[in-house]
Amino acid sequence: MKLGIEALQHPGQSRYSATSCALTIVGLAALHCVTRIYSRTVILNAARIIEFRIRNDMFHRLTELDIGYFSHSRSGDILSRFSNDLTNVRMLSGFGVMSAINTLLIYCATITMMVRIHPWLTLWAIIPFPIMVLIVKKISHRLFHRSLQAQEELAHLSNQAEETVSAVRLIKSYCREEHFQEEFDRTATRYLQLNLKLAQLRGLIIPVMAAATGSGTLIVLFLGGKLVIADTITLGDFVAFSGYLAMLVWPTAVLGWILTLAQRGAASMSRLAGILAAEPTIRDWPHSLPLESMQGGIEARNLRFSYGGPEVLRGVSFHVTEGETVGITGEVGSGKSTLLRLIARLLPVEDGMLSIGGQEINGVTSESLHRLTGYVPQETFLFSRSVAENIAYGIGESHTIEAVTTAAGQAGMMQDIDTFPEKFGSQVGEKGITLSGGQKQRLSLARAIAGNPRLLLLDDPLSAVDAGREEEILNELSKFYSGRTSLIVSQRVSAFRDCDRIIVLNGGEIVEQGAPGELLQQDGLYADMYHRQQGTP
């Protein structure tokens, strides 16, 4: 630009013509355009790949974590980290990094050229910039905390929306729509207020930077004009210097946006690190061996467990031989479900307290244990897919329709499936919304037995099933129990019809243990439950 101005000012005296200077500028502009397109493609693609890998790592980590982590984590909060926080990190690693590199290159090149024209004028022109950096740094510190608060509130808002949608039938049945609307309005208002405060901080950055570049321009006009009048620099130098200073205006403005992205990205990354850094409490030993069979049964030795408060299980000891069917009962809160979760290795167990298949449970690989286990939890969950796909989940991709049909029959589900419009292809809806409670339980039971497990753990599997259907299911299950180790948790003594032995828990301890007939003769807790349910004195 300097050479072009001088060529126009003194035709014939310059080494370069105005035309050649113009063509050079056009060529450099074209090169700049190509470079910008290529750099944007490379960096933005890299940001997408980074987002993809972080999302996969987070999902993989979530699948590794045990239920203890999810007991104190909200679903909406986790989903917010997968969407909003990951977007902030992608913006930082994409547009943020690209803009930072462009700003750094422009600053270095421009200031170098300005120094070559006149060092002292350059010094005066950039004096406002250090002041700007100090002010922006102070604002950025507050921006980080405000961004973190806003992201946490957004997670709360997402969690509230997710819970409301999941419980919409309950909300409508109790006519609580207005209450939940007010709760959502309050949360949304807090989120809005935090974002408005965040916008105020971001709004301060641009004026501060504009003031710095504007002050530099005024200094150049005043001092540079004097230097031109004094013939210290040429008019071409002054125009070029002013052009270089103008080139700093946009990078300086972008710098404020980069700082905003950096603070939001840092706040989001700290939230993502909460998942990525979480460690499962259930880990295989380095020398863990796969579980090949149930030979040796299940043995508990002074088994104790606590969720962080009082002990749920206190000194529980028993032995279940291979192929034995054992019922577990007791009052509510006696530790029945917890015991089943420990055997399924869904909760951590201290070394030496529990063995399975003749091996210490912590010395068994989790994958092999779960492959041999069919588990029906107390809280039934179904995927938003077809009936066949929900049953086949217990088998895997290599399932056959014969295996699915057999499992459905053993769970007493075939009569219901025959009434569905598309039979096994019928969609069950989100969390099985189209099915009754009993149908959900039987479908969950079919899923557990479809994989032909050697160890069957049933946690109150027939609580929502009517008496007539219960008898049909028990008849089918009695054939399935043969040769398998089965543990059945229930408060309905009718579920123990085919059990070889019954363990009675009370207050986390075994108070009775023996065959059903023996326990009835002892006239203890089991006998009392039996007589109350049978309506006999």
Per-residue pLDDT of 24-36, as tens digits, reads 667 766 776 777 6
The per-residue pLDDT for 477 is: 73
CB 376 within 8 A of CB 458: yes
Strands 501-506 and 485-489: unpaired
Collapsed DSSP state (helix, strand, coil) of residue 329: strand
411 with 427, same domain: the answer is yes
- Residue 20 domain-assigned (yes or no): no
**pLDDT of amino acid 389:** 78
* The dihedral formed by the CA atoms of 168, 174, 175 and 178, expressed in degrees to the nearest 10: -70
Contact 236, 6 (CB under 8 A): yes
The CATH number of residue 147's host domain is 1.20.1560.10
Confidence at residue 239, expressed as pLDDT on a 0 to 100 scale: 74
Q: Each residue of 482-515: pLDDT tens digit?
A: 777 888 888 887 778 778 888 888 888 888 888 8
Question: Are 197 and 258 found together in one domain?
Answer: yes
CATH number for the domain including 446?
3.40.50.300
Which pLDDT tens digit goes with each residue over 333-374?
Answer: 788 888 888 888 888 888 888 888 888 888 888 888 888 888
Q: List beta partners, residue 312.
A: none
Does residue 218 form part of some domain? yes
Q: How far apart are CA 346 and CA 397, in angstroms?
A: 24
301: how many CB neighbours lie within 10 A of its CB? Answer: 13
What would the pLDDT profile of 94-113 be if each residue is shown by its tens digit?
777 777 787 788 888 888 88
Q: Which of 393, 428, 451 is the last residue of a domain?
A: 451
CA distances from 364 to 285, 301, 338, 449 (A): 8, 17, 20, 22
Q: 3-class DSSP state for residue 134?
A: helix
Number of CB atoms found within 10 A of residue 293's CB = 12
The domain tally of the chain equals 3
- Count Cβ atoms within 10 A of the Cβ of residue 411 and give its class: 0-12 exposed, 13-18 middle, 19 or more buried: buried
User: Would you place residue 396 in the very low, low, confident or very high pLDDT band (cuts 50, 70, 90)?
Assistant: low
Same-domain pairing of 238 and 337: no
Residue 10 included in any domain: no
Neighbours of 330 (CB within 10 A): 24
In tens, the pLDDT along 38-61 reads 777 777 788 888 888 888 888 888
pLDDT on residue 496: 80
Q: Is the pLDDT of residue 16 over 70?
A: no
Secondary structure of residue 140 in the 3-state scheme: helix
pLDDT of 440-469, one tens digit each? 777 888 888 877 788 888 887 777 666 667
- Shared domain for 115 and 157, answered yes or no, is yes
What span, in angstroms and rounded, lies between the C-alpha atoms of 411 and 405? 10
Kindly indicate the confidence band of residue 17, based on its pLDDT and cuts at 50, 70 and 90: low
**β 311-320/298-306 pair status:** antiparallel
Task: Kindly indicate the confidence band of residue 537, based on its pLDDT and cuts at 50, 70 and 90.
Answer: low
Q: Is residue 13 included in any domain, yes or no?
A: no
CA dist., res. 465 & res. 472, Å (int): 11
- Work out the burial of residue 34: count CB atoms within 10 Å of its CB; fewer than 13 is exposed, 13-18 middle, 19 or more buried: exposed
List, in order, residues 6 or more apart from 378 with CB less than 8 Å away: 337, 459, 460, 489
Domain with 406, as residue range(s), is: 383-451
Among 451, 468, 495, the domain boundary falls at 451
CA distance 127 to 125: 6
3-state SS, 209-260, equals HHHHHHHHHHHHHHHHHHHHHCCCCCHHHHHHHHHHHHHCHHHHHHHHHHHH
Please identify, among 451, 476, 492, the residue that sits at the C-terminal boundary of a domain.
451
Instruction: Decide if 410 contacts 480 (C-beta within 8 A).
Output: yes
Do 366 and 239 share a structural domain?
no
12 token code pair: 């014939």
**How many C-beta atoms surround the C-beta of residue 109 within 10 A?**
12
In the DSSP assignment, the letter for residue 430 is: G
Q: Are 193 and 305 members of one domain?
A: no
Are both 262 and 175 inside the same structural domain? yes
Classify residue 5: in a domain, yes or no.
no
The radius of gyration of the chain from alpha carbons, rounded to an integer in Å, stands at: 36
Question: Quick one: 260 and 403 in the same domain?
Answer: no
Q: What is the mean pLDDT of residues 141-152?
A: 74
Residue 170's pLDDT band, with cuts at 50, 70 and 90, is low
- pLDDT tens figures, 173-210: 667 777 778 888 888 888 888 888 777 777 777 677 77
Q: How many residues does the chain have?
A: 537
Burial bucket for residue 395 (CB in 10 Å: 0-12, 13-18, 19+): middle
Query: Do 90 and 158 sit in the same domain of this protein?
Result: yes
Q: What digits encode the pLDDT tens for the residues 76-90? A: 677 777 777 888 888
8 A C-beta contact, residue 340 and residue 534: no
Tell me, yes or no, whether 388 lies in a domain: yes
Task: State whether 333 and 366 are in the same domain.
Answer: yes
- Nearest Cα neighbor of 264 from 423, 140, 132, 98 is 140
| Domain co-membership, 54 together with 77 | yes
Neighbours of 505 (CB within 10 A): 24
Residue 530 lies in a domain: yes
Rounded to the nearest 10 degrees, the angle between the axes of helix 249-276 and helix 235-247 is: 20
Question: What are the φ/ψ torsions at residue 329 (nearest 5 degrees)?
Answer: -140, 175
Same domain, 152 and 208: yes
- Cα angle: 159, vertex 160, 166; to 5 degrees: 90
351 touches 360 (CB < 8 A): yes
Q: Tell me the H-state helices in 118-176.
A: 119-126, 128-166, 168-173
Banded model confidence at residue 253, pLDDT cuts 50, 70, 90: low
Name the pLDDT band for 22 (thresholds 50, 70, 90).
low
Its pTM stands at 0.67
Q: Is residue 533 part of a domain?
A: yes
